[in-house]
Amino acid sequence: MKSKLKIFNDFAQGILPHEASFLLKANKLRDEEKEAILKKVCINAVQIFVSEHFDEAIDKRKYTYLKKWINGKLKKADVDAHLEYLSALEKQIFTDTISPAEEQELLAQISSYTNTSFYFQKFYELVKEYQDYLLIRFRYQDCQITENFLTKYSAFYMNSLHVKEQLFFATKDLTQQYTSGTLNTKHWEEQLLACFYSEQLDGRNQYNAFVRLVFLYFNYKEYDKARKIFDEIDLKFKEGKLYSKRVLFNYYANRVILHSNLEELEKAEYYAHLSIKQENSDKLFYLNNLISILLKRGKNQEALKLMTGNYDLFKKTFNHHQKLAFATNYIRTLVRNKRLKIAETFAENFLFNNKENLFEHRWRHFFSNYLRLLTTAEKPDAVLKITKKYNLLEREEEVMYKEDFIPKIHWYYILAMYMNGHYSEDKLLEELLKTLPGLDNFTDKGKNELFFFIDNLSFTLPEIFSRIKSHLTSKYINS
């Protein structure tokens, strides 16, 4: 039976947990029924899979009022809505179409605006344009208001521009480190922390410093440090600061990575489900994160259903990085669900259609899963052919120095050589162990991942991989 409150139910499902916290703090409702509805909205916002029903006996006008009230509160706090307003105002100034009422509102904002506002840079530049608009019209009294603002905040504006430029250089270094693994970016930490905690800096620079700190800590696997700044910014969001849905979705996606790396998979899945609530250009990135968590938790059928339902999104994207991540996850998911033939056809087609961009990002992740698929399908000839065609052994050797490195491609290749009769069992064992770096190059987490990989391969030759595991375990205990 269709609910009489379907429109409100659909609206309430879009409310995010941090929005709910802010709404509860902003609550000054005098009506008990309206307050009860709001509290139920906020309770449901925190829950992913269950929700409490709204009372259909309450006057529907109260639901309409509350929807309008919530939208008003969130829009007033939404920094991206404010950016749209500033951009529209800028256009009106440029085209001489700003109305007297809009000018009055702008002049009032100039008197109350501060350098810590999220889009302070944009506002400062808008005031400069507006002053030019006023000067040419000999409106000297209003010019005094704009001049006072520009003078008062000139140093803050210049500092904001300097910080923005520094964040750009930090971003270049951090992304290069992520891609190549060779660049040292630790020197950025102190400067980024100073920006993040600054009480004089605009909100956008503060948030961008947070994002780059997260990137830095993830690169260095310093997840406890990352958790600390996540908890700091979490408090700001609950108070409605630095808020927009876009920012929250980005924040949730980063929390997925944090909790995943801390092996807090239940929390990771929670934030992953939150992150895919909005349709935007980052949807595929958020979706890939969720799929990875579902696979880690053994929710293979759920992962396949989700990927099948979003296959068109994968086909349409121009983001090669996320496209490759989806393709890799799709192969993994199909293998987990024992759909090997479909997986093989998909992998072949993807490889043919995307070979030009394949080695830009995380190519090892794709090929190791492709080779696992071929190994599972008992096609050692195909493993050898793919490995040689794309020079995968040579490519993998270039990154073997990395911490926690598992030479998966080498192992699949060596196993295929054995299955084709080129290696004896002793030679197989020797070659597999020879490719591994010393266990002192593995963290405890890395060692666990290595043993997990060995367990996953043991279906091919249980006795051999049991001997390898025993050999490594004895070294692990003694290391």
**What is the residue-level pLDDT of the chain in tens, covering all 479 positions?**
356 788 999 999 999 999 999 999 988 888 999 999 999 999 999 998 878 889 999 999 999 999 999 999 999 999 999 999 999 999 999 999 999 999 999 999 998 899 999 999 999 999 999 999 999 998 999 999 999 999 999 999 999 999 999 999 999 999 988 877 778 999 999 999 999 999 999 999 999 999 999 999 999 989 999 999 999 999 999 999 999 999 999 899 999 999 998 989 999 999 999 999 888 888 898 999 999 999 999 999 999 999 999 999 999 988 888 999 999 999 999 999 999 999 999 999 999 998 888 888 789 999 999 999 999 999 999 999 999 999 999 999 988 877 788 999 999 999 999 999 999 988 998 999 888 766 677 888 888 888 889 998 998 889 888 888 888 777 654 55
Distance between CA atoms of residues 120 and 110, nearest Å? 11
In a domain, residue 30? The reply is: yes
Domain of 142, in residue numbers: 80-152
Coil, helix or strand at residue 377: coil
pLDDT value at position 478?
Answer: 53
Contact 22, 243 (CB under 8 A): yes
Contact 126, 89 (CB under 8 A): yes
- Tokens 């069992």 correspond to 425
Residue 354's Cβ-side half-sphere holds a number of Cα atoms within 13 Å equal to 28
State whether 370 and 478 are in the same domain. yes
Q: Is 57 exposed, middle or buried (0-12, 13-18, 19+ CB in 10 A)?
A: exposed
Within 10 angstroms of residue 371's Cβ, the number of other Cβ atoms is 25
In a domain, residue 266? The reply is: no
Q: Nearest CA to 14 among 307, 290, 318, 249?
A: 249
Contact 265, 297 (CB under 8 A): yes
State whether 380 and 469 are in the same domain. yes
Contact 419, 380 (CB under 8 A): yes
Helix (DSSP H) and strand (DSSP E) numbers for the chain: 26, 0
Distance between CA atoms of residues 192 and 117, nearest Å? 19
State whether 50 and 127 are in the same domain. no
pLDDT value at position 1?
Answer: 37
Distance between CA atoms of residues 240 and 139, nearest Å? 37
In a domain, residue 251? The reply is: no
pLDDT value at position 446?
Answer: 84
Tell me: the pLDDT tens digits for 233-283? Answer: 999 999 999 999 999 998 999 999 999 989 899 999 999 999 998 888 888
State whether 64 and 99 are in the same domain. no
State whether 68 and 90 are in the same domain. no
With the C-alpha atoms ordered 433, 435, 441, 443, is the resulting torsion angle positive or negative? negative
Q: Residues for the chain: how many in total?
A: 479
In a domain, residue 423? The reply is: yes
State whether 94 and 57 are in the same domain. no
Task: Provide the 8-state DSSP code for 165.
Answer: H
Distance between CA atoms of residues 357 and 423, nearest Å? 34
Residue 201's Cβ-side half-sphere holds a number of Cα atoms within 13 Å equal to 23
Within 10 angstroms of residue 403's Cβ, the number of other Cβ atoms is 11
What would the two tokens of residue 263 be?
Answer: 């092996």
Secondary structure, 3-state, 279-299: CCCCHHHHHHHHHHHHHHCCC
State whether 37 and 143 are in the same domain. no
Greatest C-alpha distance within the chain: 92
Within 10 angstroms of residue 43's Cβ, the number of other Cβ atoms is 13
Distance between CA atoms of residues 207 and 237, nearest Å? 11
With the C-alpha atoms ordered 327, 333, 336, 340, is the resulting torsion angle positive or negative? negative
Contact 232, 275 (CB under 8 A): no
State whether 403 and 432 are in the same domain. yes
Q: How many domains does the chain have?
A: 3
In a domain, residue 374? The reply is: yes
What would the two tokens of residue 182 be?
Answer: 């060779």
Distance between CA atoms of residues 58 and 34, nearest Å? 9
Tell me: the pLDDT tens digits for 167-216? Answer: 999 999 999 888 777 789 999 999 999 999 999 999 999 999 999 999 99
Distance between CA atoms of residues 25 and 236, nearest Å? 12
In a domain, residue 199? The reply is: no
State whether 70 and 101 are in the same domain. no
Distance between CA atoms of residues 221 and 295, nearest Å? 22
Distance between the two ends of the chain, CA-based, in angstroms?
Answer: 64
Last residue in a domain, options 102, 126, 152: 152
What would the two tokens of residue 282 be?
Answer: 């980052």
Q: Which element (helix H / strand E) includes 233?
A: helix 223-238
Residue 79's Cβ-side half-sphere holds a number of Cα atoms within 13 Å equal to 23
In a domain, residue 54? The reply is: yes
The rounded Cα 133 to chain-centroid distance in angstroms is 42
Last residue in a domain, options 50, 77, 104: 77
In a domain, residue 146? The reply is: yes
State whether 26 and 125 are in the same domain. no
What would the two tokens of residue 176 be?
Answer: 């290069």
pLDDT value at position 361?
Answer: 77
Last residue in a domain, options 118, 152, 186: 152
Q: Give the amino acid at 440.
A: D
State whether 51 and 104 are in the same domain. no
- Tokens 């949807």 correspond to 283
With the C-alpha atoms ordered 140, 142, 145, 150, is the resulting torsion angle positive or negative? negative
DSSP per residue over 205-224, as a string?
HHHHHHHHHHHHHHHTT-HH
Task: Provide the 8-state DSSP code for 97.
Answer: -
State whether 124 and 17 are in the same domain. no
Distant-in-sequence, close-in-space partners of 222: CB < 8 Å, separation ≥ 6: none
